[in-house]
Homo-oligomer: A and B are copies of this chain.
Amino acid sequence: MTIHPVHPAHTRIYRSGDRSDIQVPFTRVALTNGETFDRYCTSGPGSDPVVGLPPLRAAWIEGRADTASYDGRETQLLDNGRSAVRRGEAQDPWRGEKRRPRRGDNITQMAYARAGIVTEEMRYVAEREQCDVELVRSEIAAGRAILPANVNHPETEPMIIGKRFLVKVNANIGNSAVTSSIAEEVDKLTHAITWGADTVMDLSTGEDIHTTREWIIRNSPVPIGTVPIYQALEKVNGEADKLSWEVFRDTVIEQCEQGVDYMTIHAGVLLGYVPLTAHRVTGIVSRGGSIMAGWCLAHHEENFLYTHFDELCAIFRQYDVSFSLGDGLRPGATADANDEAQLSELRTLAELTARAWEHDVQVMVEGPGHVPLNLVEENVRLQQDWCHGAPFYTLGPLATDIAPGYDHITSAIGAAAIAMHGTAMLCYVTPKEHLGLPNRDDVKTGVITYKLAAHAADVAKGHPGARDWDDALSRARFEFRWHDQFALSLDPVTAEAFHDETLPAENAKTAHFCSMCGPKFCSMRISQDVRERFADEVRAAGMAQKSAEFVELGGTVYVEPEAS
């Protein structure tokens, strides 16, 4: 399907910087006063889902001449679950182009950055973030930012995750055993990137996991993340005890070859930490965490993801897959926040970060979850200190547990706060969290809610240029350019629909009021009158004299209150 602009005043433009083969998309908003405003754009060039996207990065990857295609692992029926085995065939197989997988020796963006090599991906990101390319390279080299870009996902438009850059938002999609189809999930992907998701995680746990992921990756201009333990568990009949390093490793290679850009690995859930969750209010709430805890207890062995971590690194570096070190012991209730289980795991994630970096593998670290507002900052501070500045990627956190149905909001409160303190990417939460699988509308609500939280953090951090967007919209508002106010909105469709609910006529779009206050009580209109009157008076009386008069007046009426 084609990506349609969400507002008639939006067009796609491309900026190329100093390289004509690097064409970075922006959404240009044409304002009625002749100005334009360019917005960061995640929706990609659009694709017919059965064809997929063009391989934007293919020439860059080939140009580096450090990867080769190979036959790759043969897809098995079990990759799509036991019902595919029963049926003897997979459903809805991918019908678009099938490229042979590629791999190299050590081809990560981190390896290049450390070697002083500036890749096309880094140039793209610098143009996209409107910053110096050296900032991009050096932050990746230092591990403080990642550029997730599996060579087998050449469709991605490069993006960066790190605290010196715009705060990013991830949208989770994926089916469950209870509901959804491949078409619905591709539709959710489109919806997520249309509204601004910077990465998408396919968390499918139901049928057709391999094929669903193929459709998603081939149509995704944003990096795709997964949690491979979910698929591995399906391959062993859903019995955690039967999991093994071998099954997991095979699943990881399957996903590396498909083009997954980052994978959540719950390697910090150590056997010795499981008892620390025994007296929690909500125990272990990470799916991957609970699976690995179950495995550890069943086998009385250390987590195989931990013991085989270096082998994982050796695989990831061949494809440039990034780690998202999972926080399997994150708190699932505000009561459990910042407890010993959570912090013990974080210390292990810090150790694993350093080990991945020895392999030049990119790493981000996942964070909670459910955290009361007064404990939010400590989460970032400890993660940044212990994990040597590796990007933090948090799920919310929810600032309270009492509002199921509104957990996009309870978590956006925590998310804005944690991002202000240095979290690099926020994993969205939808209104359905804790209650059911999100549908496409929930995906949109989640993405918009998190985009506003991320932007609030960018503004609070004083990120260069971030507040320009607010100012452009506020000026449109003050000047009653209603069309511009809608076009500049994060969600123009909803803003315009809300306005039109009471004042649908076209002439209301230039009126100096809305139905909230009506014409006589519009403060912005009155304020403009006041401003004009003041300007007239200043002109009449002579600027200098009038100013002095006002200042003097201000002096006489100003009274410093008593200190007590």
Contacts and interface: CB of A to CB of B under 8 A. Distances in A.
A386 B452 contact: no
A325 to B, nearest CB: 12
Contact of A283 (B449, B515, B520, B527): B527
Interface string A527-558: 11111011101000000000100111111111
Contacts of A179: 502, 515
Contacts of A351: 559-561
B435 A474 contact: no
A403 B452 contact: yes
Interface in A357-401: 370, 372-374, 386-388, 399-401
Contact of A335 (B344, B471, B518, B551): B471
Given A287-B517, A372-B459, A402-B473, A530 B297 contact: yes
Nearest to A398: B456
Contacts of A557: 270-272, 302, 306, 348
A434 to B, nearest CB: 7
A489 interface: yes
Contacts of A498: 404-405, 431-432, 435-436
Interface stretch (A9-17, A110-118, A411-419): A411-419
A562 B523 contact: no
Interface string A230-273: 10010000101000000000000000000000000000001111
Given A179-B502, A285-B524, A562-B354, A334 B459 contact: yes
In the complex, the count of this chain's copies comes to: 2
Contacts of A523: 284-287, 289-290, 332
Interface string A322-338: 00000000001111000
A381 to B, nearest CB: 15
A527 B294 CA distance: 8
A462 interface: yes
A176 B551 CA distance: 36
A278 interface: yes
Contacts of A409: 408-409, 412, 449, 452-453
A333 B413 contact: no
A517 to B, nearest CB: 6
Interface string A81-107: 000000000000000000000000000
Interface residues of A, number: 150
Most buried by B among A434, A474, A477: A474
A494 interface: yes
A217 to B, nearest CB: 21
B529 A294 contact: yes
A448 interface: yes
Given A406-B452, A564-B388, A436 B293 contact: no
A471 B497 CA distance: 39
A98 to B, nearest CB: 29
A347 B563 CA distance: 11
Contacts of A486: 404
B530 A400 contact: no
A281 interface: yes
A514 B176 CA distance: 10
Contacts of A350: 561
Contacts of A417: 373, 413, 417
A275 B405 contact: no
Contacts of A501: 432, 436, 439
A282 B523 CA distance: 10
Contacts of A526: 240, 284, 287, 290-291, 293-294
Main secondary structure of the interface of A (DSSP, over half): helix
Contacts of A291: 526
A67 interface: no
B460 A373 contact: yes
A554 B270 contact: yes
Given A289-B523, A412-B409, A518-B177, A462 B531 contact: no
B278 A410 contact: no
Most buried by B among A438, A503, A552, A557: A557
Given A281-B471, A372-B460, 4 more contacts: A297-B530, A298-B533, A402-B452, A406-B448
16 contacts: A277-B530, A283-B524, A283-B530, A284-B526, A286-B523, A287-B521, A290-B530, A332-B478, A334-B474, A335-B471, A351-B559, A351-B560, A374-B420, A400-B452, A401-B474, A436-B502
Interface of A: 176-179, 205-206, 230, 233, 238, 240, 270-278, 281-287, 289-291, 293-294, 297-298, 302, 306, 332-335, 344, 347-348, 350-351, 353-354, 370, 372-374, 386-388, 399-406, 408-410, 412-413, 416-417, 420, 431-439, 448-449, 451-453, 455-457, 459-462, 467, 469-471, 473-475, 477-478, 485-486, 488-491, 494-495, 497-499, 501-503, 513-524, 526-531, 533-535, 537, 547, 550-562, 564
